[in-house]
Amino acid sequence: MGTHFILVTIAIMALASTLVSASDPSPLQDFCVAINNSDVFVNGKVCKDPKLATADDFFFSSLLTPQSTSNPVGSKVTPVNVMQILGLNTLGISLARIDFAPYGLNPPHTHPRATEVIVVLEGTLYVGFVTSNTDNRLFTKVLYPGDVFVFPQGLIHFQFNNGKTNAVALAALSSQNPGTITVANAVFGSNPRISDDVLAKAFQVDKKVDFCVAINNSDVFVNGKVCNDPKLATADDFFFSGLLTPQNTSNPVGSMVTPVNVMQILGLNTLGISLARIDFAPYGLNPPHTHPRATEIIVVLEGTLYVGFVTSNTDNRLFTKVLYPGDVFVFPQGLIHFQFNNGKTNAVALAALSSQNPGTITVANAVFGSNPMISDDVLAKAFQVDKKVVDHLQAQFWYPNN
């Protein structure tokens, strides 16, 4: 009996590990800024010398600028992937803005290399995805501003503006280059054409597991979360509401992070992506911190932010930028970074992270507020200060803003 339980547990862990690993390759250095004109072909893009990197390699502007939707489908996608931000190379995440005219459609399509998470900024969208053969279940939801929905990797999905006004959504995708296959274009508009004999016999795709909706109360421990029976999944397992709701920033750091990860959307389990909203009071700070399991890409919605990250030893180079509404910036996985509202008004940003559960290590909280405390002898030597300074810092209350 004991042996059977161990074998079942190992099998579950192996399955979970396989599902979680379905993403872009992990970076082997702090970043790998792409070179577009290299004659060398690799899976991704060749890197330029890290010493030549600048903050602009991690920056994109004007994502909040409305785009023209005067086309047959009444929608326009503005991508922010490795072609627009060279610093996204190897970091496994990207963004996109989607503009919709009244009754505009982002037609049924797939992203072969990415899960997509969208948040509606304006208007109303009717969205859905279809599972793979043989069930072909349709999951649909009507989304309003602040609502979030997940489209698992590789599944056919769509977004339709079912209102009389324009609609806008921001999408995060779990690949630097997610790819897009619009079903009608690929099947009926390929170059050269697919034989009509082939199309007459239909088009089928097979995939073993489409998603793995988490169970929070399981007694089995795996890397991630145990899956619920897929037949019991509903559209609400991929849904979150209220992300555009302002949050209270009355705290010592003047900021508040609202996460939307696998704890809030159980359907994100194994899909390698999540979102967060960050509210800032005037001069509020999201203190220096790291995400051990994720790259972060943010877009400013309101206000102005001074942001930056520091590379690892021994260079410890600081990359900084002042961001305005519509500006985008990338913080590579595991690097210490911060966001500071250097204006006299509130600021708001949306962040996408390349993990269902990115984790956060706030430097001051971890070093000076650990439980139990790190020895002041250790910290005095590490920071090269008197032990009284360490004792004073350890006596402070380190506020967790997320």
Q: Binding site membership for Mn(2+): which residues? A: 109, 111, 116, 157
* Longest Cα–Cα distance in the chain: 82
User: 196 forms bridges with which residues in the sheet?
Assistant: none
- Residues making up the annotated binding site for oxalate are 106, 111, 116
Q: Which helix (H) or strand (E) holds 279?
A: strand 274-280
CA 29 to each of CA 40, 334, 335, 387: distance values in angstroms, whole numbers, following the listed order: 20, 10, 10, 34
**What is the C-alpha separation between 384 and 167, in angstroms, rounded?**
54
CA neighbor of 330 nearest in space, from 114, 30, 66, 44: 30
Residues with Cβ < 8 Å from 208, sequence gap 6 or more? none
181 phi, psi to nearest 5 deg: -120, 100
User: 352 forms bridges with which residues in the sheet?
Assistant: 275, 297
CB 154 within 8 A of CB 185: no
DSSP line for 138-181: EEEEEE-TT-EEEE-TT-EEEEEE-SSS-EEEEEEESSSS---E
**What is the C-alpha separation between 137 and 135, in angstroms, rounded?**
5
Query: At 118, which amino acid appears?
Result: I
Other C-beta atoms closer than 10 Å to the C-beta of 281 total 18
User: 257 forms bridges with which residues in the sheet?
Assistant: 278
Tokens (6 digits) for 126 = 């009717």
**What is the C-alpha separation between 239 and 60, in angstroms, rounded?**
28
Number of H helices, E strands in the chain: 6, 22
Residue with structure tokens 């009926």? 188
- Residues making up the annotated binding site are 106, 109, 111, 116, 157
Residues with Cβ < 8 Å from 319, sequence gap 6 or more? 53, 54, 55, 58, 308, 309, 310, 311
Query: At 225, which amino acid appears?
Result: K
